[in-house]
Amino acid sequence: MAPSIKVGDTLPQGTFGYIPWSDALKDNLACGVPSKLNTDEWKGKKVVLFSVPGAFTPTCHTNHLPPYLQKYDEFKAKGVDVIAVVAANDLFVMSGWGRFEGLEDKILTLSDTDATWSASLGLSLDLSGHGLGTRTARYALIIDDLVVKYVEVEAGPGVTVSGAEAVLAKL
């Protein structure tokens, strides 16, 4: 898959649903307050955005997200202001996944409903054959002041170019 977004491009505007971290979410009976995050909020910031086809799915849950949390301090030491994971799951599922993984406020869990924003970048994936519908592809972006500095999408199963190690090496 060749993304339509390229290094040097300005990031297209997008709005994601998400539930900001709060101490109330420590109680698994709390759902949090739905909110919106617009990519314009990343103006002047260095952002690492990685995408997974689905929260709680095997590769995403065990191999893709955890290394980003484990290497959080390394990302911060390289000047990253925001780390975010995006998937086509709804914002409540993304929030629940983030709580399960212990992300708290370290990694934002963003909902790209129906992979609409990812599709605008050429980064959606049709997993209808697996009963999952249209999803976000497995990819990673480094964004600096809304300019794309790194964009890589996985060519097949597994995590390589969109993983924490690969992205850290490009910062």
For 5-50, write each residue's pLDDT tens digit: 899 999 999 999 999 998 888 877 778 889 999 999 999 999 999 9
For 113-147, write each residue's pLDDT tens digit: 888 899 888 886 655 566 555 668 889 999 999 99
- Judge whether 138 lies within some domain: yes
- Judge whether 8 lies within some domain: no
Task: Report whether 86 contacts 49 (CB < 8 A).
Answer: yes
- Judge whether 9 lies within some domain: no
Question: Whole domain around residue 76: which residue ranges?
Answer: 15-19+29-170
Out of 19, 55, 60, 107, the active site residue is 60
Tokens 């999803």 — which residue? 135
Q: Is there a catalytic annotation at residue 31?
A: no
- Judge whether 130 lies within some domain: yes
- Judge whether 2 lies within some domain: no
Per-residue confidence (pLDDT) for residue 60, from 0 to 100? 56
Q: What CATH number should be reported for the domain holding residue 66? A: 3.40.30.10
Total domains present in the chain: 1
- Judge whether 4 lies within some domain: no
- Judge whether 10 lies within some domain: no
Six token digits for residue 85: 């994971």
- Judge whether 5 lies within some domain: no
Q: What is the DSSP track for 52-117?
A: -S-TT-HHIIIIIHHHHHHTHHHHHHTT--EEEEEESS-HHHHHHHHHHHT-TTSSEEEE-GGGHH
| 103 CB-contact burial (10 Å; exposed 0-12 / middle 13-18 / buried 19+) | buried
Output the pTM of the full model: 0.90
